[in-house]
Amino acid sequence: MLSSKLRITTCGLVTATALALAISSAHASVIFPTPGAMTFDGLPAHIRAGHMWNLRELMPYAIQSGEMLFEHRTAPGTWATIVTGKIRPRVLWLHWRVPRSLAGSRLVVRFVLVSQGELLATSPNYAMALWH
């Protein structure tokens, strides 16, 4: 039988872990307003550098597979892929370990949905600030 002190400590640890996961994860809602376009509502405007950033998204029924590319605009104006996530029966997970060296900077990012090398949809550009 657990002592009440151990039970309280365990409960506090579980609560702190759940809170930390909620803070480091983002759940946005993706909308496909027209063919070839998608938007994300609820993306964070600030991401903490040096930590893992996770995005979990439930895709519409029509999107069963494919890959989502999370890209940023480089100085010359081209796009570079930060991380890629596979869509596995409608669920997308993106995991990005944000480099500490990017703290204090702003990125212009976008999402690109592809399937078997074919472009399906692109999002507009979003600004994200990276903080310590």
**The model scores a pTM over 0.85:** no
32-79 per-position pLDDT tens digit: 999 999 999 989 999 999 999 999 998 888 888 899 999 999 999 999
Instruction: Give the C-alpha separation, 106 to 74, whole Å.
Output: 11
Instruction: Name residue 9's amino acid.
Output: T
**Contact call for residues 59 and 32 (beta carbons, < 8 A):** no
- Residue 5: pLDDT band (50, 70, 90) is low
What is 26-131's CATH number, 2.60.40.3350, 2.60.420.10, 3.20.20.100, 1.10.1490.10? 2.60.40.3350
pLDDT in tens, 66-118: 999 999 999 999 999 999 999 988 899 999 999 999 999 999 999 999 999 89
Q: Which residues of 70-107 are buried (b: 16+ CB within 10 A; e: fewer)?
A: bbeeeeeeebeeeeebebeeeebebeeebeeebeeeeb
| pLDDT at res. 63 | 86
Integer Rg of the chain from CA: 18
